[in-house]
């Protein structure tokens, strides 16, 4: 019995999980910065009126 497919599958799964753990915080921070910039622009517009 050849175990290569299971080993390769485990490595691929691990690589995907590690990649997601590295990319998810970056994406979250970008969204947070974009939302904060939008909020500050809106609050600046309402204060100017």
**Res. 49: pLDDT tops 90:** no
Average pLDDT over residues 27-41: 97
User: How many CB atoms lie under 10 A from the CB of residue 12?
Assistant: 10
Residues 6+ apart with CB under 8 A from 19: none
Cα 11–chain centre separation: 21
Structure tokens at 1: 């019995």
* CA angle, 35 then 38 then 44, to 5°: 140
Summarised one tens digit per residue, pLDDT across range 3-29 is: 999 999 999 999 999 999 999 999 999
What is the pLDDT confidence band of residue 47, given thresholds at 50, 70 and 90? Answer: confident
As a dihedral over the C-alpha atoms of residue 23, residue 26, residue 27, residue 32, rounded to 10 degrees, the angle is 160
Kindly report the pTM of this predicted structure. 0.69
């Amino acid at each position: 019995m050849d175990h290569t497919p299971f080993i390769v599958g485990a490595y691929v799964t691990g690589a995907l999980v590690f990649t997601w753990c590295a990319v998810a915080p970056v994406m979250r921070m970008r969204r947070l910065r974009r939302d904060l910039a939008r909020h500050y622009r809106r609050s600046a517009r309402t204060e100017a009126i």
